Homo-oligomer: A and B are copies of this chain.
Amino acid sequence: MVLQLIPMIKTTDFKSIADRYKVIFFDSFGVIKNYWGLVPGMRDTFDYLEANQKEYYIVTNDASRSPQQLAASFVKLGLEMITADKIISSGMLAKEYLDLKVDGGSVAFLGTDDSAHYIENAGLHTIPVRDITDENINQVNGLVFMDDEGFNWFSDLNKAVNLLRKRNIPAIVANTDFAYPLNMNDVAIAVGALANMIEHVVGKRFIRFGKPDSQMFMFAYDLVREKMEISKKDILMVGDTLHTDILGGNKFGLDTVLVFSGNVKPEDAETAISSTGIVPTYICDTAVIKID
């Protein structure tokens, strides 16, 4: 066994970076919380931002719950300042799409009933894929992939394939992630991977919402501009995932911070960055701001 010395990337203190921006966008999982719960010290970060009147938003590829439910989960972690109006989720974009583009009838969904309830509106009701029958299939005007839970994969994924073969309707993917961490050792297949599989089987183009797509950042940017005069130079995006948070933030023209509280380990950072070509503006251990 031969040993070799390799350099490890040097990180910067998050506070010194955050101080330079007027608005901060945070990814949720891997930045604010992870599978152990709240990332220790993140309460201080939000206290500091509040005290210094900095705007912040949570920009998350999570379509399993409404912004209200997501906010409730932050309250449970002791972050009562993260209210529903500070949350931009890919589910919100899916909902906007359905509001604008599906005129009537019903929208079939794969996911929990909670996720479906959120996208319902006055003119449109939702139906779980399992309840599609020969009688109601012609009223189905869209299919939405919301969450990997809440349905039987074998029967309902097969049913979704045949729905898309019989009805020429849009298929919307409200969470593009392929996997998410369950605990320190295990990951779970996310609905984005299921949607990709169905897309290949039926050979049609699906409509995807979620980072790295610019639409998420634009949605947040629009919200900020309603409150204050601002340019993209004033906004910082903080994330733990190179190909969603950092790629998407970079492309939208924002400065970006990669943190090590989630997907990327410090010792893998250099290889990950140079092999993907996705380069964050800064690298920090965590997004924690220590208050003296």
Binding site for B on A (CB under 8 A): 1-8, 10, 96-97, 100-101, 152-154, 157-158, 161-162, 164-166, 168-171, 178-179, 185-189, 193-194, 196-198, 200-207, 213-215, 218, 232-233, 243, 247, 250-254, 267, 271, 273-279
**A182 to B153, alpha carbons, bound, how many Å?**
17
Residues of chain B contacted by A168 (CB below 8 angstroms): 273-274, 277, 279
Residues of chain B contacted by A271 (CB below 8 angstroms): 271
Residues of chain B contacted by A252 (CB below 8 angstroms): 215
Q: Once the chains bind, are B100 and A202 in contact (CB under 8 Å)? A: no
- Copies of this chain present in the complex amount to 4
**A10 to B271, alpha carbons, bound, how many Å?**
21
**Option from B162, B197, B215, B279 in Cβ contact (under 8 Å) with A194:** B197
Q: Once the chains bind, are A243 and B205 in contact (CB under 8 Å)? A: yes
**A157 to B189, alpha carbons, bound, how many Å?**
8
Q: Once the chains bind, are B197 and A189 in contact (CB under 8 Å)? A: yes
Can you list 30 A-B contacts with CB-CB less than 8 angstroms, sorted by A residue number?
A: A1-B7, A2-B7, A3-B5, A3-B6, A6-B6, A97-B251, A100-B253, A101-B253, A157-B189, A158-B188, A158-B189, A161-B189, A162-B187, A165-B187, A166-B185, A168-B274, A169-B279, A171-B277, A178-B200, A193-B201, A196-B200, A205-B243, A205-B247, A205-B277, A205-B278, A206-B277, A207-B247, A207-B250, A214-B214, A215-B252
